[in-house]
Chains A and B, each alone.
Chain A
Amino acid sequence: MLDATEGYTTEDGRKIGGVVMEMKNITLRFGGVTAIEDISFDVHEGEIRAIIGPNGAGKSSMLNVISGFYNPQEGEVWYKGAKRPPMKPYQVARQGIARTFQNIALFEGMTVLDNVMTGRIRQMKAGLLSQALWKGKAEREEVENRAFVEKIIDFLEIQHIRKTPVGRLPYGLKKRVELARALAAEPSILLLDEPMAGMNVEEKEDMSRFVLDVNDEFGTTIVLIEHDMGVVMDLSDRVVVMDYGKKIGDGTPDEVRGNQAVIDAYLGVAHD
């Protein structure tokens, strides 16, 4: 069913492409603490890939490795068929890997529109001088990018708060603005760090719908970390399970659900 170059077809009949990113034997240490130990997994184009595990399992560390915030001591990151050299986070972002944060990192003093516009920095190429003169290329670029951003804003249903400074928004909406900013970059891979954390049931349902819609509408590859087992199993095509920095399971939600190591470590079978 799985093939590195050919891709596969999901249970609900979606066509998934070949491997877009591969983590090979990643090990990450902080001093004496090993946060990630020899983990390998791949991400196929167009799939929703989840990383789950109990608190402290190393999920966020893994996301930070992918987005360049941490550089692992051992292992290789392969992206679009090439080995990636150690990179700064901004360089990773410019390669088309966008992310959100568990604790939300938005520009609080800027409006929603400006926040989402910062996501377009990768697409804006006009030099300072041509922008200063506000002519030709720069103006066309600004208009095009603005149009794309408005599309994203409509898509995520945040039109009504376009001009509101982000600092004034409630938590659930901030999460959505952060998603909008990441989407504005037209990423090849979208990393979501606990997108439903701290949300109520209704907000969670909204966010799940948006994640599925984004994947469906833009064909975006999504890697997400999540605590909420129910949400993960419904959303994702394939799941990596981590515990104490090690990979203890990898497969479709059904496969993972039946994996004894996963049940023991994560679901707490002892209580049955």
Chain B
Amino acid sequence: MPEQFIWGIEVFLNGLMAGVLYALVALGFVLIYKASGIFNYAQGVMALFAALTLVGIMEGQVPFSHLINATFGTEIHHFGWHVPAFAAILLTMVVMIALAWVVNTLIFKHLVNQEPIILFMATIGLAYFLEGFGDMMWGSDIKTLNVGLPQGINPVIDEVTYNIFDYGFFIDNLDIVATVIAAALVFTLIVFAQYTKQGRAMRAVADDHQAALSVGISLNFIWVMVWSLAGFVALVAGIMWGTKSGVQFSLSLIALKALPVLMLGGFTSIPGAIVGGLLIGVGEKLFEFAIGAPYLGGATEIWFAYVLALIFLVFRPQGLFGEKIIERV
């Protein structure tokens, strides 16, 4: 078997794994968009904020320590305790639910029935506020996040592939874990939406506010629930990305990578977000491997996803799985 082909398989597998992470972020967008028609630009920042909070809680960091020290002339930075990862994740989830409630109560409750562009602008405001707030609360230095997920090359895959191809594949354990968790998350979300009372209510609100009210669904409850779900997805994405490349403010930029994923998969489809993420992940890695690096001087990963999305926009604007847009005249 030619070496190029074997390497290609490895690139493909790594692309799949990277795609899972894109899909995780895209999933948060889809949830909010489906239920409230809001395109939440802040989804990436929410992932960052969740990761920052998680690290802060685990390491016993004092929130707003910079502000406190500057105001009172003190020198406190840490409480001096360490919280176990599992408890810290639960606490962070509580923070994300509180954030969901605050965001809905202070902002989006008052913007019901506004134009989509106004809602979108509000989420941009939210994104930058949250970025600054996260910075103020936990500091802006790059932090390492370790919640005990396995990392490094998977020896089993390395050995098996070495025996078959005479070449050991490098697959990161963390990517495998991310894939399993993402799959479980998607499965749970789909079951939730299809088979529970709250899920049915969520779909109902997404479809028609007035009708939802008339059958006894509280819009506010559903919106807080959806923002909390998006916060949960952001937390999962934050953990994965944070573990992989450290918790840093560039994390919020991965939100932009979720945009082409959504254009491919459609803004309204949970499976679409997953398939879109995988396609972009695999597409950009394979393109770089086969065409970008040898012929175009590399670094095609930066723009490949957007160009692919552009092509999709022209030929299939609703994405792969999105609801077909039919305008009656």
Contact = CB atoms under 8 A, between A and B. Distances in A.
Interface of A: 67, 69, 88-91, 93-94, 98-99, 101, 105-110, 114, 117-119, 121-122, 124, 126, 128, 131-132, 134, 181-182, 185
Contact of B214 (A105, A109, A110): A105
B201 A121 contact: yes
18 contacts: A89-B213, A90-B216, A90-B217, A90-B218, A91-B216, A93-B213, A94-B216, A99-B214, A107-B211, A109-B323, A110-B204, A117-B200, A118-B212, A118-B215, A118-B217, A131-B196, A134-B195, A185-B215
A110 B215 contact: no
A114 B207 CA distance: 12
A71 B274 CA distance: 45
B93 to A, nearest CB: 14
Nearest to A89: B213
B110 interface: no
A93 B197 contact: no
Contacts of B208: 105-108
- Main secondary structure on chain B at its contact with chain A? helix
A118 B204 contact: yes
B97 to A, nearest CB: 13
A124 to B, nearest CB: 5
B216 A121 contact: yes
Contacts of B201: 118, 121
A245 B303 CA distance: 62
A105 B211 contact: yes
A67 B207 contact: no
Interface of B: 192, 195-198, 200-201, 203-204, 206-208, 210-219, 323
A185 B213 CA distance: 13
Contacts of A90: 212-213, 216-219
A107 B207 contact: yes
A91 B219 CA distance: 11
Contacts of A105: 208, 210-211, 214
B213 A98 contact: no
A141 to B, nearest CB: 9
A108 B207 contact: yes
A93 B214 contact: yes
Contact of A67 (B195, B197, B214, B323): B214
Given A90-B217, A110-B203, A122-B216, 5 more contacts: A90-B218, A94-B216, A107-B208, A118-B204, A121-B217
A119 B195 CA distance: 15
* The 9 residue pairs across chains A and B that have the minimum distance between CB atoms: A93-B216, A105-B211, A107-B207, A89-B213, A94-B216, A131-B196, A105-B210, A124-B197, A90-B218
A118 B200 CA distance: 7
Contacts of B216: 90-91, 93-94, 121-122, 185
A257 to B, nearest CB: 32
A181 B207 CA distance: 15
A101 B211 contact: yes
Contacts of B219: 90
B207 A109 contact: yes
Nearest to B196: A131
A77 to B, nearest CB: 17
A108 B204 CA distance: 9
A128 B203 CA distance: 16
Given A99-B214, A121-B215, A126 B197 contact: yes
Nearest to B216: A93
Contact of A107 (B196, B198, B203, B323): B203
Given A106-B208, A107-B207, A110-B207, A128 B218 contact: no
A131 B215 contact: no
B157 to A, nearest CB: 33
Contacts of B218: 88, 90
Contacts of B200: 114, 117-118, 121
Given A118-B204, A121-B201, A131-B196, A101 B210 contact: yes
A93 B215 contact: yes
Contact of B215 (A119, A128, A132, A134): A119
User: Which of A89, A99, A122, A134 has the most chain B CB atoms closer than 10 A to its own CB?
Assistant: A89
Contacts of B217: 90, 118, 121
A131 B197 contact: yes
Nearest to B214: A99
Nearest to A191: B214
A67 B197 CA distance: 23
User: Which of A67, A93, A106, A182 has the most chain B CB atoms closer than 10 A to its own CB?
Assistant: A93
